[in-house]
Amino acid sequence: MKVVGSAFLLSVLSGVVLVACGADAPATPDARNDTPRVDARVVPTPDARTFPPFVDAMPLPDAGPECDDPSEPNNSENMATALAGIDDCDGSGGTVSGALDSTDEDWYTYAVEDTNCLLDPTILIATGNVEVCLFFVCTSGTEDFTCPKGSMATDVGTLSGCCSTSSFDIGVFGFDCDGAADDSTTNFMRVKSASQNSCETYSVGYQS
Ligand SMILES: [Ca+2]
Ligand SMILES: [Ca+2]
Ligand SMILES: [Ca+2]
Ligand SMILES: [Ca+2]
């Protein structure tokens, strides 16, 4: 009887323990359900990060074929870009750079002072498949010049000068302001594309 009574008491105690464990179990799932709700509030942040790249990519279609030239507009004698004056010493001079589409003309103008050096108007085409014309306007007297071999005498409006697709030097006996001791001039330089390129870039040097 005592043994049976002990076994009965053990089974009753086990039942109490099981009931006690069963009562504790429901608390855990509730706590787990709270955690996903907090995580769900964090989800919108990664989605927001995907938008900036699309905005950054938008400027790309604007980068089309353009022929930027900061000297524009300079398409005629009257709109010529004014350059610093030079004298007839060969250390005096400059370089212009620009870009030409098929119909563009780039005009520049600069004064040339007749000093004690030798006057020999010169064009140096450093880069670019271009035609360069050099026109002269004497400060006093009348323009009298001979275009060197490889260049061609050309008149544009009231201007007279020489044009070539390669570098040229008028030479020390090639230019004179006839009737004047002072051969100072105002020069005009016209650059045009000699290629079929949509955008011909160039660099042209000048001295006198
Ligand atoms: Ca241009
Ligand atoms: Ca132009
Ligand atoms: Ca010279
Ligand atoms: Ca003269």
**Residues 133-156: tens digit of each pLDDT:** 999 999 999 999 999 999 999 999
**Cβ < 5 A residues, ion ligand 4:** 176-177, 180, 183
Residues whose CB falls within 8 Å of the CB of residue 55, separated by 6 or more in sequence, listed in order: none
Distance from the alpha carbon of residue 70 to the mean position of ligand 2, in angstroms: 10
Q: What's residue 67's pLDDT?
A: 85
pLDDT surpassing 90 at residue 52: no
Query: Using one digit for the tens of pLDDT, what is the confidence trace for 71-127?
Result: 999 999 999 999 999 999 999 999 999 999 999 999 999 999 999 999 999 999 999
- DSSP notation for the chain: -HHHHHHHHHHHHHHHHHHHHHHHTTHHHHHHHHHHHHHHTTTHHHHHHTHHHHHHHTTGGG--S----TT-S--SGGGPEEPPPEESSTT-EEEEEEEE-TT-EEEEEEEEE--SS----EEEEEESSEEEEEEEEESSSEEEE-PPTT-EEEEETTEEEEEESS-EE--TTSEEEET-S---EEEEEEEEE-S--SSEEEEEEEE-
Judge whether residue 205 has pLDDT over 70: yes
Give the pLDDT score at 18.
41
Which has the closest alpha carbon to 106: 56, 70, 142, 136?
Answer: 70
Q: How far is the CA of 32 from the centre of ligand 2 (A)?
A: 74
Q: What residues have their beta carbon closer than 5 A to ion ligand 2?
A: 74-75, 104, 106
| Confidence band, pLDDT 50/70/90 cuts, at residue 196 | confident
- 103: CA distance to ligand 1 center in Å? 9
Name the burial class of residue 201, with classes exposed (0-12), middle (13-18) and buried (19+) by CB atoms within 10 angstroms of its CB: middle
| Mean pLDDT, residues 148-172 | 97
Could you tell me if 195 and 120 are in contact, meaning their C-beta atoms sit under 8 angstroms apart?
Answer: no
CATH number for the region 77-207 comes to 2.60.120
Confidence of residue 39 (pLDDT cuts 50, 70, 90): low
Q: Is the pLDDT of residue 5 over 80?
A: no
Tell me the pairing of strands 105-113 and 81-82: parallel
Where exactly are the structural domains of the chain?
2-62, 77-207
Residue-wise DSSP of 134-174: EEEEESSSEEEE-PPTT-EEEEETTEEEEEESS-EE--TTS
pLDDT at 24 over 80: no
Percent of the chain with pLDDT over 70: 68
Distance 86 CA to ligand 3 centre (A): 10
| Nearest ligand, measured from the Cα of 183 | 4
Between the CA of 207 and the centroid of ligand 1 the distance, in Å, is 21
Q: Which pLDDT score, from 0 to 100, does residue 37 have?
A: 52
Mean pLDDT score, 173-197:
97
